[in-house]
Amino acid sequence: MLLSDPPDHTRLRRLVARAFTPRRVAALAPHIQDVTDALVTAMLAAEDRRADLVEALAYPLRMTVICELLGIPDLDRDAFRGWSDEITAPTGAEAARAAQAEAVPYLGGLIAAKRAAPADDLLSDLIHTVDEGGDRMSEDELLSMALLLLLAGHESTVNFLCKGVRALFAHPDQFALLRSDLDGLVEGAVEEMLRYDAPVETAPPRVAVEPVEIGGRHVPAGAVVLIVLGDAGRDPARFTAPGRFDIRRTGTGDRGHLAFGHGVHYCLGAPLARLEGRIVFRTLLSRCPTLGPDGRSGGRFSGLFAQGERKVPVRW
């Protein structure tokens, strides 16, 4: 779906949107809250009052939520993490192919099990969704969609939580402001984090099917266009003082960013990512008011569409 054009894209998006509904996302809120509470409790039990936020919170939360949504709580997370890292940030073409070759039959098995025993979850719905014209996803499309849903929101959400925390640490005044009115400011803070440091820096490469003018530049037919979403968030023609991290910005009319893309491929998971962000930051900051950075970062990764921290060491 991510790489297809209309009418193929329209068809797939319509089918998945029938299953990935706002009601399904909203119903996940209590579960996301419970998982976040449990992870923060476990993290705060560390006697040395130190943790890596990626391992302690961002990664397990992300995996638990997506598995719950899809209805595959028994996913082999260690194996999947290896495949997923290799597919989204390949160490080499051969290794990436090998990861896909293992992930696809594994997911095929999960889909077969779900087909045999359907439940109230997204994967069951995707298997059984039929539109007005009697259309449904083929087996290959189902596999590809399950892999996309597992991967699309994986690196991006982990990166979002890590970049958001880093932005707060780098701006103590905004950090203090947010803590002073978590309920009132968390929504704006999440939007500002997405604008200030886009978790997905570039959209997948696009090819111009006809000549087009963009921002006064001529793009000939056939040219490859790489849209840098992160730069769009720092555009001085769009945002006042774009380099300033200001969690009240959305309240001042400076709305809108491209962190979730734009147009037909606009992120399907945006409502879920926003919900996770609001719950995580509200919970983490209210339960851990002295949270701060613990020394240097633990190295960076460079993926297909994003770069980010492998570790975010914190103390409290």
Give the H/E segment covering residue 52: strand 50-52
Which ranges in 71-153 belong to alpha helices (H)? Answer: 77-88, 93-116, 122-128, 139-152
Would you count residue 32 as binding ligand HEM (CB under 6 A)? no
Would you count residue 61 as binding ligand HEM (CB under 6 A)? no
Would you count residue 304 as binding ligand HEM (CB under 6 A)? no
Nearest approach in angstroms of CB 283 to ligand HEM is 17
Would you count residue 203 as binding ligand HEM (CB under 6 A)? yes
Contact 273/156 with Cβ under 8 angstroms? yes
Q: Which of 35, 200, 280, 284 binds ligand HEM (CB under 6 A)?
A: 200
Nearest C-alpha neighbor of 72 from the set 100, 109, 101, 98:
109
Contact 195/259 with Cβ under 8 angstroms? yes
Is residue 220 reached through a cis peptide bond, with omega within 30 degrees of 0 on the bond before it?
Answer: no
Would you count residue 149 as binding ligand HEM (CB under 6 A)? yes
**Which residue lies nearer to ligand HEM by CB, 263 or 295?**
263
Phi and psi dihedrals of 308, rounded to 5? -175, -170
**Which residue lies nearer to ligand HEM by CB, 272 or 285?**
272
**Residue of minimal CB distance from ligand HEM?**
269
Would you count residue 153 as binding ligand HEM (CB under 6 A)? yes
Would you count residue 122 as binding ligand HEM (CB under 6 A)? no
Please identify, among the stretches 84-92, 156-164, 208-216, 233-241, the one whose residues bind ligand HEM according to the rule CB under 6 A: 156-164
Would you count residue 196 as binding ligand HEM (CB under 6 A)? no
Q: What spatial distance separates the first Cα and last Cα of the chain, rounded to whole Å?
A: 42
